[in-house]
Amino acid sequence: MTYDFSRHDGLYLRQTLFDKARRIVVKVGSAVLTGDHGIAEEVIENIAREIAFLHDSGRQVILVSSGAVAAGRARIKFHNAGNELSIKEKQALAAIGQSNLMQIYDRVFSALGQTSAQVLLTHKDLAVRRRYLNARNTLFALFEFGAIPIINENDTVSVAELRFGDNDMLGAHICNLIEADMFICLTDVVGLYTGNPSTDPDARPIYTVDEITAEIEAMVSHSKSKLGTGGMQSKLRAAKLVSAGGGSSFIGPGREPEVLKKLFSGEMIGTFFLPHKERISGRKRWIATVLKPQGSLVLDEGACRALVERNRSLLPSGILKVEGVFGVGDAVHCARRNGEKIAVGLINYSSVDINKIRGYHSREIQRILGYCDSEEVMHRDNIVIL
């Protein structure tokens, strides 16, 4: 059963996870934070009170906040007659708006007796293992100081290959970075429904989802807010990413008064996504969820069984084909003949060298390449089964 829990069962499951959640990431989108004249400060004040409520209850909380570009547009009264913003315009507006946005956050959190801290990240800050661990350590140090980190993508310097995609995915990555118990995505929708409630009189809310299947994804509209970069599909992808890391997720109305207090007191609002039963280890979570695979290795059935069923390393003898160009240490997919991706891992040889040794026994690597750094093309400790 993927959804449609009884109200009693859904309430019990949700409340158990809310009670146990000690480390939480809250993401607030532009559609929630902005009004007709830029940033809606009364909304930020409400969000800050809710975050302070969680913080004062002894929980560690991170806020992932959009809104820099919208704040920049309002600050300089920038209008472009409905045309799509160029990259340079978005980056410039983000530079103007980010300081304005943080000024507001600093003022409202200070009024509540809370200390806030700005953290700006690009995807590369998490894709490089050393920088990933540095970011993790900094966030834990901020927790020790009693501060509330406010994270946004560093839009001013981010380019396509360095981007998370949107702040839904950034929030999911932060959840996995700090091994958060829960991801709360506050948006301009009230949650998932079995149909479109504005046109389908039989549409009913989905309060609890235990697995995001194709059926669940089909319920989601392709539309997105004019102020945001992601729609509900992006939020489902983020929830899947968090679930794979062992956390739960919530999608619900960001402008609902006292929404977090209602959630943690057991009110059935929004849609709650249960975590996977098994939590992936920290290093393997980084490999599976942060790194962007640079290519694929097509394997024979024997190699596929060795990886999936016996938790073995990948040897060159089982490789049929090399797809893409990659270097030592890159993330690479492992796939069946039909293209189905079964695993992802860190590679020990470049694509050029693997093309030379594929199909051969490991003892032939030295003869073919003139060196042998490893008998395995991919070690089992660096492989994550998908």
Work out the end-to-end distance of the chain between its first and last CA atoms, rounded to an integer number of angstroms: 21
Tell me the mean pLDDT in the region 121-130. Answer: 90
- pLDDT of 4: 47
pLDDT (tens digit, 9 = 90+) per residue, 254-310?
999 999 999 998 888 899 998 876 677 778 888 988 898 999 999 999 999 999 999
Residue 365 has pLDDT above 50, yes or no: yes
Tell me the mean pLDDT in the region 329-344. Answer: 96
Name the pLDDT band for 141 (thresholds 50, 70, 90). very high
Tell me the mean pLDDT in the region 330-337. Answer: 97
Name the pLDDT band for 230 (thresholds 50, 70, 90). low
Phi, psi angles (nearest 5°) of residue 12: -65, -45
Domains of the chain from N-terminus onward: 7-285 (3.40.1160.10), 293-385 (2.30.130.10)
CA distance 319 to 332: 13
- pLDDT of 222: 36
Phi, psi angles (nearest 5°) of residue 323: -120, 130
pLDDT (tens digit, 9 = 90+) per residue, 34-73?
877 778 899 999 999 999 999 999 999 999 998 888 888 8
- The mean of the pLDDT values for the chain is 87
Least confident of 81-85, 88-92, 301-305, 338-342: 81-85
Least confident of 150-164, 187-201, 271-285, 305-319: 150-164
- pLDDT of 314: 97
